[in-house]
Amino acid sequence: TSSPTMDQNIYISYEDATKVASSSGATVKVTTLDQVTYPLVLKRGRMRMAPPPPEIAQAETALMAEGGSDMTFKLVPSDSALKAAKETEMDLADGDVPLFASDRLAFASPKGPEVPLFFEKADCVTSYERLRSGGGPSSRLPAEPTIRTTTLADELYSMEKGTRPSVKQLQFYSAEYDLIHAAELFGQ
């Protein structure tokens, strides 16, 4: 959310962001995960990427300014993701973002198979069910997916350290609802 200055809570869910914004009079803006994760949440500076939106640039400047180091930006997962993580007895620290993956679920891409990491458990299950109902060898998959959980922080750490094989195959998937609204806001 954004008012004259950017809120330190960065919502993964458009729906959650609009709820908070409507109660505080703020405006919801959209950006990409990479625009906020390294420079604001992890405080590691800007990587090689496109220039950020003005609100993020302003927040980065405030972080680099004297006294800005005590600012703490954090990613806030959706209520439904937190509930699903709790149901799986996942141990989340404050600021952790749960991710959900299913065994035997991958997507084809021009660069080879992609292993999806979903921000919402329901999207993971729906994708698995679509794969299973598609016929062919996929129809022999178990009726229920085996859901694996991790956190965004754990995945970023393993990507940076090279401890995860096939890191180039990992892809983060936001909820369809959030993507639709993000596309609308990007188009404005």
Q: Which amino acid is at 54?
A: P
Residue 133 has a pLDDT of 86
Residue 54 has a pLDDT of 79
Residue 183 has a pLDDT of 82
pTM: predicted TM-score of the whole model, two decimal places: 0.84
CA–CA dist 66, 18 (Å, integer): 32
Task: Please classify residue 98 by burial: count the beta carbons closer than 10 Å to its beta carbon, then call 0-12 exposed, 13-18 middle and 19+ buried.
Answer: buried
What SS3 class is residue 76? strand
Positions in the chain whose pLDDT score sits under 70: 1-4, 47-48, 66-69, 164-165, 188
Residue 63 has a pLDDT of 80
Helix and strand numbers, DSSP H then E, in the chain:
7, 6
Residue 3 has a pLDDT of 39
DSSP, res 19? H
